[in-house]
Structure 1
Amino acid sequence: AASVTRPARGILDTSVFIANESGRAIDAERLPDESAISVVTLAELQVGVLAAVDSKTRATRLATVDLARDMEVLPAEERVALAWARLRVHLAEVGRRVNANDLWIAATAVAHGLPVVTQDLDFDPLEGVLGLGIVRV
């Protein structure tokens, strides 16, 4: 599955929330009509809140967590674990590595038949693997 233009549904990865929070440009035309997130993204955003060094940063990051929690949060259940294992083995076979959290987000997308919506180039080695689509915003 090559890059998709604008999907009906998609899984937003953490980079999209951080871009929104920091004012980095997002190609809104390519955002899905309906967005979900992996529970891993919620965890990563919560780390940002807990690690905030001042109250202004904490408030900004809490608003981002609230935005994420309004979306459907997809858990890491058995079919996600199976997709994770298959992606991990594929990467080992081709001699590539992907951050473990990104791998969980990709596995969640594969298990649900949805593309990953991201600004993160780390997903590139997984594009097309097990039908994974990547939407770059």
Structure 2
Amino acid sequence: MADTSVFIARESGRPLDEANLPDELAISVITVGELRAGVLAAADVDTRDRRLITLSMALTLEPIAVDQSVAEAWARLRVVLRDLGKRMPVNDSWIAATAISLGTPIVTQDDDYIELPILEIIRV
């Protein structure tokens, strides 16, 4: 499950550890929402065009919707985080819950994801 930071890295030219990228990636509808918000918030035409290209690239993957399984994983994740005294941004927790529900790792450059027994993280 690629989080938004992977797409932004490509857009901004930030290096990615390609060797760590899995052969197959999925994305959450939350990532699509974040990328769409980036397009709408663009300060100029060039930035908007770059962000539209990034969004289009992300949409070549089939976005995974939030369903009952994801909602259940999100609730469990929030309780685990609370019990550990940890925090995770809300959008990241929904992306993480999507990965948990599918049994797939999060692929990220983001430091907001916390190593947990229920969540595998691949840093790229």
Same fold (TM over 0.5): yes
Query: In structure 2, what is the Cα distance between the partners aligned to 1:134 and 1:71?
Result: 20
Number of residue pairs matched by the alignment: 124
Give the aligned partner of residue 116 of structure 2: 128
| CA–CA distance in structure 1, aligned partners of residues 79 and 116 of structure 2 | 15
Deviations 1:78-114 (A, max 9, x none): 0000000000001111111100000000000000010
- Counterpart in 1 of 2:67? 77
Q: Tell me the residue number matched to 1:4.
A: none
Matched, 1:94 2:81: no
- Shift of residue 128 of structure 1? 3.1
Distance 2:23 2:2 in 1: 11
CA shift at 1:16, angstroms? 0.6
Contiguous gaps of at least 5 residues in structure 2? none
Q: CA RMSD in A?
A: 0.7
Whole-angstrom distance in 2 between the partners of 1:42 and 1:129: 26
The AA in structure 1 aligned to 2:3 is: D
| C-alpha distance in structure 1 between counterparts of 2:65 and 2:22, whole Å | 20
Whether 1:65 aligns to 2:55 is yes
Moved over 3 A (4+): none
TM-superposed deviation, 1:32: 1.2
User: What secondary structure, in the 3-state scheme, does the structure 2 residue paired with 1:129 have?
Assistant: coil
TM-score by length of 1: 0.88
| DSSP-derived class of the 2:27 partner | strand
Equivalent runs, 1:28-43 vs 2, <5 Å: 28-43=18-33
CA–CA distance in structure 2, aligned partners of residues 84 and 128 of structure 1: 13
Instruction: Describe the SS at the equivalent of 1:117.
Output: strand
Match of 1:109 among 99, 103, 107: 99
| One-letter code aligned to 1:79 | S
